Amino acid sequence: MNIFNTYRDYIENSIENLIAAGTLPAGLDSSRITVEPPRDPAHGDVSTNAAMVLAKPAAMKPRDLAEQIAARLREIEGVESVEIAGPGFINLRLGNSVWHQCLEAAIGLGKSYGDSDHGGGRRVNVEYVSTNPTGPLHIGHARGAVFGDVLASLLAKAGYTVTREYYVNDAGSQVDTLARSAHLRYCEALGRDIGEIPEGLYPGNYLKPIGRELADMNGDKWLDAPESDWLAEIRTFAIESMMALIREDLAVLGVHQDVFTSERKLVESGMVDEVLKTLEAMGHIYTGTLEPPKGRKPDDWEERPQTLFRASDFGDDIDRPLKKSDGSWTYFASDIANHLDKYRRGFTEMIDVWGADHAGYVKRMQAAVKAISSGEAELDVKICQLVRLTDKGQPVKMSKRGGTFVTLRELVDEVGPEVVRFIMLTRKNDAPLDFDLAAVTAASRDNPVWYVQYASARCHSVRRMAAAAFPNHDMSLSALARTPISCLTDDAELGLIKAVAGWPRLIEAAAEAHEPHRIAFFLYDTAALFHGLWTKGKDDSSLRFVIEEDKELTMARQALVRGVETVIASGLGIFGIEPVEEMR
């Protein structure tokens, strides 16, 4: 339950009353009304712009209308005061009891606190990682993997039915290159000196075990055989091996996906041909000639007519080719089939998570989704910008010689999966991210993971101290949910309670915007409030969490601590991180 939604209902009821009373005309558009916490807490607890938004269509002065609405809001139980400010803001101040009820509810719900029906069970498909199965994942993939995985968890918490999807790019020429590279390692495993890996093949050592297995299974039958004999078989085997490797990499990071859709199968099943027919029937395809890109004309550019999709009819800048010069499908064509496949599986909300190098591809894919669904389906594309890996401020060298950049596995081995997951979400997806190996493992306020975990550890520490002070007292969640907490009236306590109360609203807003990073900032801010209250107890011992001579107060504060703990655990849970109970 999001308390701001509760007050939105109250405000909308007030407006309906005014309509019924004839003060306001019927048919007003309430969609632009916001009900939110004011930025400046001095303005109260809940603020709405309703009077300003409705003033013009109602032909009233904003402040006059505000007064009419305010008069009705003052009748609501729990509303302490209603003030009109500035150009016509209505500011509500809520009594402490309202906040205390929020805290009680949070504790009562425990793990499920923050769960929302905002999504109404609507199905949403989140596609992420989706790399070529040609090698292990590197650090850049880690960001997209974490982002997609956490976004999916966030949407699930916000009441969506989520499918986590991986589109396996196993149909292009790159998997043929993979097969040739694997064949070379196969020859090597059979004792042949392969020398330097030729330009254009994958040099990585990770292919050596693949070559070994191929040799064990097939003997020397492909050693001097023409490529046509072995390409398809080795390709299939190598792709499967690479996908197994990628899944392991993802598992190490705690990332799992529900559906793996194979590009090759889409092509072989005729889905891509079908897409062409479908689009053709709709009149979205024609044969035409494209202008060469200006200022960067490829050397071997030759003008020729192509099969083009009318992307420019759907918001893209130019029309896009669907066939290569050799007649095979472009990646774009099969990706349209991929999205058509999703649409046919019942998804009208799709989210793709891509790397920065795919930014130029966004418009055409969105255009295609509109076209294949006749505007019914919506695709949001989240671009994850580059990760700059440093150590104590110095860039970490990427070794191309070994055929790998810094691999995801190396990164996770170095700092642990939980640190990687948290840090990857400490920036908006569309901003570059600095990942400093030294900073992310430091024990200081600079390091958000550590800082939030420290707050969690302190919660547990206080819990242990309280249990020691009152050994025979029931401090279970259900007991604390019933304990009287009206004695929590200090500003710092109320501030923390309000932060806890704001958790459901944050979930809904972050899910709506597809912005999981907001959780990281929320957790950091909440941790800061908690650390602040903690230290206040140093100056003023009456604010300590455990007061041995006052059991009632201690229990009330236990309730607060459990509320904080609940929110931190809930937030870290979406990130796939286990809260710590102790710091050593």
Partner RNA sequence: GCGCCCGUAGCUCAGCCGGAUAGAGCACAGGAUUCCUAAUCCUGGGGUCGCAGGUUCGAGUCCUGCCGGGCGCGCCA
Binders of RNA among residues 300 to 319 (CB under 7 A) are 300-304, 306, 317
In the structure encoding, which two tokens stand for residue 393, read together? 């401020």
Hey, which residues between 83 and 102 contact RNA (CB under 7 A)? 85-89, 91
Smallest separation, CB 51 to RNA (Å): 9
Of the candidate residues 59, 221, 538, 549, the single one contacting RNA (CB under 7 A): 538
Position 288 contacts RNA (CB under 7 A): no
Find where tokens 């092509």 sit. 267
Q: Which is nearer to RNA, 173 or 374 (CB)?
A: 173
What is the β-pairing status of strands 259-262 and 161-168? parallel
Of 123 and 531, which CB lies nearer to RNA in the complex structure? 531
Sheet with 320-321, side-by-side order of all strands: 285-289, 305-309, 320-321
Among 296, 392, 400, 401, binds RNA (CB under 7 A): 296
Site for RNA in 1-40 (CB under 7 A): 31, 34, 36-40
Q: CB of 147 within 8 A of CB of 429?
A: yes
State the minimum distance, in angstroms, from the CB of residue 148 to RNA. Answer: 16
Close Cβ partners of 298 (under 8 Å, ≥ 6 residues apart) = 292
Mind giving me the DSSP string for 223-290? SS--HHHHHHHHHHHHHHHHHHHHHHHHHHTT---SEEEEHHHHHHTTHHHHHHHHHHHTT-EEEEEP
Minimum distance of RNA from residue 237's CB (angstroms): 19
**Is 487 one of the binding residues for RNA (CB under 7 A)?**
no
285 binding RNA? (CB under 7 A): no
Q: What are phi and psi of 296, to 5 degrees?
A: -155, 50
Residue 453 CA from chain centroid, whole number: 20
Q: To 10 degrees, what angle do helices 208-218 and 227-252 make? A: 130
Residue whose CB is less far from RNA, 189 or 556: 556
When asked if residue 324 is in the footprint of RNA (CB under 7 A), the reply is yes
Question: Scanning residues 363 to 392, which ones bind RNA (CB under 7 A)?
Answer: 363, 383, 385-386
When the beta carbons of 16 and 36 are compared against RNA, the nearer one is 36
Q: According to CB under 7 A, which one of 109, 190, 223, 362 is a site residue for RNA?
A: 362
Contact with RNA (CB under 7 A) among 195, 295, 395, 471:
295
Query: According to the binding rule CB under 7 A, does residue 173 interact with RNA?
Result: yes
Site size for RNA, by CB under 7 A?
105
When asked if residue 471 is in the footprint of RNA (CB under 7 A), the reply is: no
Q: Taking the CA atoms of the chain, what radius of gyration do you get in angstroms?
A: 29
Q: DSSP string spanning 514-539?
A: T-THHHHHHHHHHHHHHHHHHHHHHH
Q: Which of residues 102-141 bind RNA (CB under 7 A)?
A: 131-132
Nearer to RNA, 61 or 192 (CB): 61
How far is the CA of 477 from the CAs of 111, 558, 560, 570, in angstroms?
A: 11, 10, 11, 15
Give CA–CA dist 77/92, Å, rounded.
12
Provide the minimum distance between the beta carbon of 104 and RNA in the complex, in angstroms, as a whole number: 22
Identify residue 459 by its one-letter amino acid code. Answer: C
Segment lying near RNA (by CB under 7 A), choices 148-156, 338-346, 538-546, 563-571: 538-546
| Token representation of residue 570 | 């809930």
Q: Is 185 or 363 the residue whose CB approaches RNA more closely?
A: 363
Kindly identify the residues of this chain, within the stretch 190-209, that bind RNA according to CB under 7 A.
none
Q: How far apart are the first and last CA of the chain?
A: 36
Give the x/- contact pattern for RNA in 212-251, rule: CB under 7 A: ----------------------------------------
Binds RNA by CB under 7 A, chosen from 457, 475, 479, 487: 457
Binding mask 37-76 for RNA (x = CB under 7 A): xxxx-xxx--x-x--xx--x-----x--------------
- Asked if 466 and 554 touch (Cβ cutoff 8 Å), the reply is yes
Q: How many CB atoms lie within 10 A of CB 33?
A: 18
What DSSP assignment string belongs to 143-161? HHHHHHHHHHHHHHHTT-E
Position 395 contacts RNA (CB under 7 A): no
